[in-house]
Structure 1
Amino acid sequence: MTTDAIDIDQPMALLGGLTPQAFMRDYWQRKPLLIPQAIPGFTPSLSIADIKTLARREEAESRLVTHGERGWTMKRGPFKRLPAASQPNWTLLVQGVDLHDDATAELMRRFRFISDARLDDAMISIATDGGGVGPHDDSYDVFLLQAHGRRRWRVSQQADRALVPGLPLKILDDFRPEQEFTLEPGDMLYLPPHACHDGVAIGDCMTISIGFRVPSRAVLARGLLEAAADQVSAQFLDDPGLYGQPCLPGADLSGLYEDAGTSATRQPAALPEALIASTLDTLRQVRLDQAVAARFLGQWLTNLPDSALFDPADEAILLAESVPVDGRLVLDRCTRLMYGGGQLFINGEVAPAAMQATLETLADRRWLPAEAVRTLPPDALSMLDEWLEEGWAHWRD
């Protein structure tokens, strides 16, 4: 899976002639943007039949939404049987299609003028006439690319987001559309978080949603504290050599709690104030700095869903022995590779090799030519061999 470098100062047809810089400044997380023919002549790599087949698989996350006389219903896949194509008002949604199809993964990575830390997945929905999931709002940014047929979108920036109670879907109780667009293949609509919207199929249609994760502050805080706790255990309790170097520099947690000179107590069930104070003082010694935050984020953001499956080559080459004269190392479509804080993170793990510019290039471009691979030191080549064996990367001629 390769990615060409994106010039963020050059206009992009994908953004309607805007530069990525201008889009991020004027629209990202601010207001919707309709982009007619963002990808002229676009043809999806997967057909409606392909999406139905994917929804039958255990490893694919899918949902079926219908709307009829009995109101709204939602079922979760996998699905052995789906409604007839002639039946109106149903929608099938499949998450993480980029994990199952190279072309969809390539499409998603055309949006890498936005950090991988925010890029989540490509969801594909197919629908019969009148199909949709009702008016709603999402907590994340999304690009909605029309892939087949037509879909009518109504959009509102209303503040009232009260929901209809008792439904299996989050549907707005009082949707008041302010704009209306009909998208055809190649057209795209960007929506920031909490832009209320309703998409309804006009005949059979397919829409590809490029979604971006938006973690809550509570999730970040909990994850950071849990990461610090894990590192305290590794550094001072379980295995001081687990990480190879101190994860919490400056922290002195090797001693024991002491309370010599404490008076006898008449209230044995009461927590000692000295113990509370000592606990708080210990916590203050644990520095939640950039290194700790980078380690938590790197592992969390590269952690893979269960639907990510790898297919290693039958005969893996050994780069540590000899790098081929021609070809290139290419990351698998499912692989998530990021770096920060002087460390490299892959698929939820901290990479063992020392960080260097060539590996940063691999993460940014998702491939390296043979001549660049040959410049890597032995420990990095051995690490790449492990990735090839796991199917996290592939050697392409």
Structure 2
Amino acid sequence: MELLGGRTAADFLRDYWQKKPLVIRQAFPDFQCPVSADELAGLACEEGVESRLVIEKDDGKPWQMHNGPFSAERFSELPEHDWTLLVQGLDHWVPEIADLLEHFRFVPNWRLDDIMASYAPKGGSVGPHFDQYDVFLLQAEGHRRWTFGGHCDHTSPRVEGTPLRILSSWEGEETVTLAPGDMLYLPPGVGHHGVAEDDCITLSIGFRAPTVDDLLTGFTDFLCSQSDAGDHLNDPDLQVQDNPGTIAPGVIDRLEAVIHRKLSDRRQLSLWFGQYATAPKSMDIVVPSDEPIAPEVLRDLIQEGAQLRWNEGSRFAWYDLGEESALFVDGEQYLLKGDAKPLAPLICAGARIDMEALAALAGDPAISGLLSHLYNHGSVYFE
């Protein structure tokens, strides 16, 4: 309740989620940022880390963006103010940042995108803009002044001459300054503009929502990969037509029946979506273990109380199929039956798995085999 300004998660979801902004003072009291500006700059020099520099006035051009990785010398060439460093997926690389996500489990795992860090000296900003996703903006260090409000969409006027979607004639409705531990929630489509008042770091906890185009394309591609996708449309009751150029209503009826049958297969839809929704954002961090572990060794470590946790870049979800539980990890599916069914909700509940509950299940060879597979694949590790 402290995280949401004294509101319960249910109250927040009912009154604010995808409805209106919310300023939460001291959502994280006495917050200390787990990373420094220098460490963010170091990450931005690494291959495999998505990073960007946004400079407000770059050779006379407005709001120019440069993609990393950067050289260390690049940072010494920057102006004293009016620029921003963005490091995407910071939770994938810093376990202490990933731990922040445990406070946001009132939103389903599959909706989570990642945590982005924004460092800026005084005056630094990425310009007035809007996003198509929900975001919590946690002030981690320094102070940032936010102006926000008003609904924006693809028709909103933009600044020309920049690769960024900067709003050109937007005026916000409210202005606040956030100190460390303060947080601002913004629904999709709400215009906002944050400006650093001193050297500051802001952490953006972003939540994704797939587009209808992504859903249709992804599911139909999945259906086309099934073994019966090569079957032909047949017409054993074909009859002579008055005009051979006519597409008879019966043809459309058969097409509709085929497509409806495929699209109404709830099991197929749930299995596809679980894989789709848990596909890792970065395959650079979900890599096989250097030292594979045997099921019996993993079982013994669990019985001894070793703490198992998710890889910071992994995604976990599950779906109840009735007699089976479908576990989805990093784009793969695992169907669990009988005594193994409880493993799915247990392992998906949070990044640090309840080891006492897991120890009660790990004696099953099938379960210890699956857990060792996830370990060897790089989806979990011992802390």
1:82 aligns with 2:74: yes
- The one-letter code of the counterpart of 2:361 is T
User: SS where residue 14 of structure 1 aligns?
Assistant: coil
The one-character-per-residue Cα deviations of 1:106-125 (angstroms, maximum 9, x if unpaired) are 11231111111211100001
Distance across 2 between alignment mates of 1:365 and 1:22: 22
Instruction: Check whether the contact 1:55–1:79 (CA below 8 A) recurs between aligned residues.
Output: yes
Instruction: Check whether the contact 1:291–1:341 (CA below 8 A) recurs between aligned residues.
Output: no
User: SS where residue 126 of structure 1 aligns?
Assistant: strand
User: SS where residue 35 of structure 2 aligns?
Assistant: coil
Distance across 1 between alignment mates of 2:183 and 2:26: 7
Structure 1: give runs of 5+ residues left out of the alignment: 1-11, 239-252
Distance across 1 between alignment mates of 2:213 and 2:199: 40
Out of 384, 387, 393, the residue aligned to residue 371 of structure 2 is: 384
Out of 185, 210, 218, the residue aligned to residue 190 of structure 1 is: 185
Instruction: Check whether the contact 1:143–1:189 (CA below 8 A) recurs between aligned residues.
Output: yes
User: SS where residue 209 of structure 1 aligns?
Assistant: strand
Out of 205, 208, 215, the residue aligned to residue 210 of structure 2 is: 215
The one-character-per-residue Cα deviations of 1:318-344 (angstroms, maximum 9, x if unpaired) are 334653432243222222110014311
Instruction: Check whether the contact 2:43–2:49 (CA below 8 A) recurs between aligned residues.
Output: yes
Give matches, 1:328-339, under 5 Å.
328-339=307-318
Cα separation, partners in 2 of 1:225 and 1:315, compared to 1, 3 Å: closer
User: SS where residue 108 of structure 1 aligns?
Assistant: helix
Q: Specify the alignment match of 2:258 in structure 1.
A: 282
- The one-letter code of the counterpart of 1:330 is R
1:103 aligns with 2:90: no
1:173 aligns with 2:168: yes
- The one-letter code of the counterpart of 2:4 is L
Paired residues in the alignment total 366
Out of 138, 163, 181, the residue aligned to residue 131 of structure 2 is: 138
1:114 aligns with 2:107: yes
How high is the sequence identity, in percent, across the aligned residues?
Answer: 35
- The one-letter code of the counterpart of 2:378 is G
Distance across 2 between alignment mates of 1:381 and 1:137: 46
The one-character-per-residue Cα deviations of 1:122-143 (angstroms, maximum 9, x if unpaired) are 0001111111111111111111
**Aligned-pair RMSD on alpha carbons?**
2.6
Instruction: Check whether the contact 2:61–2:161 (CA below 8 A) recurs between aligned residues.
Output: no
Distance across 1 between alignment mates of 2:136 and 2:170: 21
Give the TM-score taking structure 2 as reference length.
0.86
Distance across 2 between alignment mates of 1:261 and 1:303: 45
Distance across 1 between alignment mates of 2:250 and 2:17: 50
1:66 aligns with 2:55: yes
Q: Specify the alignment match of 1:51 in structure 2.
A: 40
Instruction: Check whether the contact 1:152–1:199 (CA below 8 A) recurs between aligned residues.
Output: yes
Give the TM-score taking structure 1 as reference length.
0.84
Instruction: Check whether the contact 1:99–1:105 (CA below 8 A) recurs between aligned residues.
Output: yes
Structure 2: give runs of 5+ residues left out of the alignment: none
